[in-house]
Chains A and B, each alone.
Chain A
Amino acid sequence: MTTPGEMAITCRGLRKVYHSDFLRRPFVGLHGMDLDVQRGEIFGFIGPNGAGKTTAIKILMGLQSATAGEASILGVDHREHESKRKVGFLPERPYFYEHLTSRELLRFYGQLFDLPRKVLDRRIEELLVKVKLERFADVPVGDYSKGMRQRAGVAQALINDPELVVMDEPMSGLDPMGRALIRDLIFEERERGRTVFFSSHILADVEMICDRVGIIVGGELRGAGTIDELVGHQVEHVDCVYRCPEGFDDAVLPGERVRGNTGERSQQRVDPPDLDKTIDLIRAAGGQVLEVNPLRASLENILMTEIDRKKQVDSKRMGVLN
């Protein structure tokens, strides 16, 4: 059993209710979320827009108060300022003081952590190199492109050499180079034993880099675990790529055709038990099996399933109310 002190983030029954419209009708942004993020892992927080990812992050970072529930960061109650001492935070679409250069910006944020001058001087130069902004260090942030701003944002999140880095949609709107840079930085932080917690709706990135993933839909955490735990090891289908002589009728094969049998490479999607039979039929017709690719469920499948379940529950609830 792990204690909160061994966890990077612990949430118990975290709930947020907004009363933002004129009539102050309640809107539940987060339904009693329980979450554990272990130290030293890369944790991806995924969900559709409006699912509650940013709400949860804002509560953890002290930007919003929780209506109910508890949370701790590195073993310290999240409402205490000191819980942020070893945390770096990159908000979604970060905004900075446009009049400051990135060097001034990093100095400002470093001073907010009370970092000694010498440490700060060294850290600023290291980070400018790390995020590839050293050539633009004395240019006002107001003149930066979106990607450069994001890199400046990552640099400010790392200024205190944090044990936990929290990022809200760090790769949103970045070009492939920018995304690769952020991915590398996240890996680097984990290699140094740091914890990275980030939200994203770019599932390919999440699958590629996360140790564990939490799925949030409609303000509810629908599941959390490693990608294997979430999507399972089970192979749902197998894609069989083959080449056959002209005139071969693929209707004899089980499963469904993915790509036609007129070209050099044909492709048939079959259920796993039918794979041997399919290969035998292709060989018997004088064909050659080129590739066999098992297809597992993806995070996208899991997320879409959760969204559909949530919709069904909501529509049933509406039906009861009506």
Chain B
Amino acid sequence: MTRLYAIAVNTFREAIRDRILYSILFFGALVLLTSLAMQELTLGDQDKVVRSIAQGAIRLFGSVIAIFLGIGLVFKELERKTIYTIASKPIPRWLFILGKYVGLMGVIAAELGLMALLYIVLMTVQQGFPASSVFVSWVMLYMELGLLTAWAILFSSYSTPTTAAAFTLAIFAIGHSADDIWMFGQKAESESVRAFSEYLYYVLPNLGVFNATDLAVHHMPIPTEQFLWAMGYGVGYSAVVLGAAALVFSRRDFK
């Protein structure tokens, strides 16, 4: 446990000393603040529009941080050769991957926490304290970012940051289109296309499972079963992807 803690804390410490984190946070906060100005520019339920833009900003910048920190996480250790003094210690490589993951999830929790705090302050001043569904949606978002981070680490464990970024962005895009893949597949006339779309739907991540933003924006309750399914799906899928990352990493030669 000490070893996992040491790797996680070191990862957290390294990330929060990285300027790129603050740049992304700054732009996230900027978008959150400008969402207030949107009130003056929109028609209809202006409060909902503001909430929607602000929630979208939290989701977007959370994803950006998960992807950009995740893709460099393992690669940087190899490039800077810091891995030499770690992999030569009595720690299994899966523990290293898990420690890096836990550390990065700590960074994402801190980042989400800060943006959520800003959201709460802004909304409380403008519209009143956010509904409980907003908080539940953030927990689901955190789980989504956990899955995205696991994919980023998997790609980072065997490729360069550029390739890992491209793959992770692809996973992000596909993950948010999983329902469309299913729907279009079912409409296809060819049996093989339908079967292939079903295969893709079940193998690739469905990030839509974690998206409860619409309910939160409308201050509607999020069904318990939807929340539990998202949590179970997120934990299970992340564990499988991290397991794959650990497997790939454990077979790697450090040159």
Report the Cα distance A73→B125, complex, angstroms: 65
4 closest A-B pairs (Cβ-Cβ)? Answer: A111-B6, A91-B84, A89-B88, A61-B88
Q: Does A62 contact B (CB under 8 A)?
A: yes
Q: Which residues of the partner chain A approach B251 to less than 8 Å between Cβ atoms?
A: 65
Evaluate contact between B88 and A99: CB separation under 8 angstroms.
no
Chain B residues near A (Cβ < 8 Å): 2-3, 5-7, 10, 13-14, 17, 80-92, 251, 253-255
Q: Which of A58, A81, A91 contacts B85 (CB 8 A)?
A: A91
Nearest-neighbour CB distance to chain A for B154, whole angstroms, equals 20
Give the residues in chain B near A58, CB-CB below 8 Å. Answer: 253-254
User: Which of A20, A84, A87, A95 has the most CB atoms of chain B within a 10 A radius of its CB?
Assistant: A95
A111 touches B3 (CB 8 A): yes
Find out whether the CB atom of B6 lies under 8 angstroms from the CB atom of A97.
no
Question: Is the C-beta of A108 less than 8 angstroms from some C-beta in chain B?
Answer: yes
B81 and A95 contact, CB distance less than 8 A: yes
A46 to B224, CA, bound (A): 67
B253 and A64 contact, CB distance less than 8 A: yes
- CB contact under 8 A between A96 and B85, given known A63-B253, A65-B253, A111-B3: yes
Q: What 1/0 flags go to A72-114 for Cβ under 8 Å of B? A: 0000000001111101010101111101100000001101111
Residues of A within 8 A of B82 (CB): 95-97
* Chain A interface category by residue count: 20 to 34
Query: Is A156's beta carbon under 8 Å from chain B?
Result: yes
Which of B2, B14, B86 has the most chain A CB atoms inside 10 A of its CB?
Answer: B2
User: Is the beta-carbon distance between B6 and A112 smaller than 8 angstroms?
Assistant: yes
Binary B-proximity of A139-165 (CB < 8 A = 1, otherwise 0): 000000000000001001000000000
Cβ A99 vs Cβ B80 within 8 A = no
A97 pairs with B14, CB closer than 8 A: yes
Whether B88 lies near A84 (C-beta < 8 A) is yes
- CB of B17 within 8 A of CB of A63, answer no
Given contacts A63-B253, A111-B5, contact A95 B10 (CB under 8 A): no
Docked pose: A310 CA to B26 CA in angstroms: 61
Are A91 and B81 interface neighbours, CB within 8 A? yes
Chain A hits for B80, CB < 8 A? 95
Minimal Cβ-Cβ distance residue in A for B10: A108
Main secondary structure of the interface of A (DSSP, over half): loop
Decide if B2 touches A111 in the complex (CB within 8 Å): yes
A108–B88 touching, CB < 8 Å: no
Which residue from chain A places its CB closest to the CB of B253 in the assembled complex? A64
Q: Which residue from chain B places its CB closest to the CB of A64 in the assembled complex?
A: B253
A81: contacting residue among B7, B17, B90, CB under 8 A? B90
A153 to B85, CA, bound (A): 9
A109 near B84: Cβ-Cβ < 8 Å: no
CB distance from B96 to the nearest CB of A (A): 10
- Bound together, the chains give a CA A114 to CA B10 distance in angstroms of 15
| Residue in B3, B14, B92, B255 whose beta carbon sits within 8 Å of that of A114 in the complex | B3
The 12 sampled A-B contact pairs (Cβ below 8 Å) are A63-B87, A63-B253, A64-B253, A81-B91, A83-B90, A91-B85, A94-B84, A95-B80, A95-B84, A99-B17, A112-B3, A113-B89
- With the chains together, A94 CA to B2 CA distance in Å? 24
In the bound complex, CA of A121 to CA of B139 (Å): 38
Chain A, 276-300, CB within 8 A of any chain B CB: none
